Each structure stands twice: as C-alpha cells, then as structure tokens.
Amino acid sequence: MSSREKILAAIKQHQPEASALPSLTGLSGNMPGTLEAYRKVLEGLGGVLFEIKAESEIPAILAQQYPGLQRVIAASDIQRTWANEDPHLLEDVDMAIVPGQWGVAENGAIWITEEDIHVRVLPFICQHLAIVLPRERLLPTMHEAYEQIGAPQSGFGVFIAGPSKTADIEQSLVLGAHGAKSLVVFVIG
C-alpha cells in the first residue's frame, strides 16, 4: 500500500463524525469601510496614503516623497518590456507602482493578483511600493473582501498590508525586512 493510501485509510478510520459548517453571517459587525478607517489602520502599519483624482498626479508626489528614485516601473505601463525579462533583473527597481483590486479597512490589506502585476515578485523585490486603489473599492472586513474576490481567477494573489517588517530582534519593530521598505497607497477618484 502506498503512503497515500495508508494515510487516507487511517484518516477515514479515525476522523470524527462529520459536523455542519457554521454560517459566516454577522461576523463583520459594524466595522466601517470608510477611507478614514482605512487610513488610520494603514498609517498604524507604517504606510502613507494620498488621495488623488488622476494617475497623472502620481509622479510629482513620488518625486517629492522619494527624492533620488532611479528605476521606477508601473505595472500599468503598456510597453512593459521588463515583464518579459528574468524576474531577477527587477532587483534594482527602486519603486514599483501596481494596481490594487480591493482594500480592507479593518486591517489595511489590499488584494493584488498576478494579472495586475505581470511578474509575481515585483511588489516584493522593489525597494519601495506604491499601490493605486479606486476609492469605491474599500470594504469593511476580510469577509466582504472574499465575497467580492469570489472564486480564484488567478494563479497567484496576495493581500499586502503595509511595508515589509520584522520584530525578530528583541521585539523592536523595523520596517523593511525582505520586501518593500515603504508603502504608499494612492486612493483614486
């Protein structure tokens, strides 16, 4: 008997009687899905938020916030020659600008999929990250987020909440572990 068959047989023999799945209604309570609520949480995570009317405002704000950026790439750029290169070559990207699909006010997380970023490693390997999120796409909690996201369409998706961080040395919080050292969220519209 293969290990697979052995394991499955043992589980079948030992698993408890099947119980019903609980309902997920009412778990969100009265959590607000507002921009104010989102901003407060994001800032608590070390992120920065700008309200903009059009994407054309982004370069000026980034130039002011991050003087000296060398390589900036935008996932929405139609040329996107970098998307066909070896992902390792993105190591020198100072700033990546990527679109977000849904924002979650309770925890600051933004849902991003492979289709939006073209190269999976992009929002991790860049030194700094900017996410552009439509204002009407803010939701109160993770429950609404999964409702909206629905069945997976993508090979890879990620919730990103703030810049990468660690507190492994004596519980001192340090922003910028292996992923982006900082995060800017542009709420558009």
Partner 1 sequence: MNRQTADHATLADKFNEDEPRVNWHDQTLWWVRAKRDRIAWTIPEWEQLRDTASSIKLNALGNLHDYLLQFEQQAQQNGAIVHWAADAAEHNRIVTEILQKHGVKRMVKSKSMLTEECHLNPHLEANGIEVIDTDLGERIVQLAKEPPSHIVLPCIHKKKEEIGELFHEHLGTPAGNADPQFLTAAARLHLRKEFLLADAAITGVNFAVAETGEMVVCTNEGNADMGAHLANVHIACMGIEKIIPQRKHLGVFLRLLARSATGQPITTYSSHFRKPREGQELHIVLVDNGRSRQLGREDFRNSLKCIRCGACMNTCPVYRRSGGHSYHNAVAGPIGAILAPNLDMKDYADLPFASTLCGSCSNVCPVKIDIHQQLYKWRQVLVKEGYTSTAKTAGMKVMTGVLSAPGVYKAAGKMGRWVMRAFPGMVNNRMNPWYKQREMPVPPAQSFSEWYKKNKKST
Please give the backbone phi and psi of residue 111, each rounded to the nearest 5 degrees, phi first.
-85, 125
Total interface residues for partner 1 by CB under 8 A: 76
**Are 94 and 70 in contact, with CB atoms under 8 Å apart?**
yes
Q: What CA–CA distances, in Å, run from 171 to 45, 63, 167, 175?
A: 15, 33, 4, 12
- In the region spanning residues 117 to 136, those forming contacts with partner 1, defined by CB under 8 A, are 120-121, 124-125
Q: Dig out the tokens for 59 from the structure.
A: 């370069």
Minimum distance, C-beta of residue 1 to partner 1, in the bound complex (Å): 10
Per-residue interface string for the shown chain with partner 1, residues 82-111, x marking contact by CB under 8 A: -----xx--x------------x-xxxx--
Least separation in angstroms between CB 17 and partner 1? 6
- 180 near partner 1, rule: CB under 8 A: yes
Closer residue to partner 1 in complex, CB, 45/69: 45
User: Which is nearer to partner 1, 33 or 55 (by Cβ)?
Assistant: 33
Instruction: Determine the Cα angle at 133 with ends 112 and 76, to 5°.
Output: 70
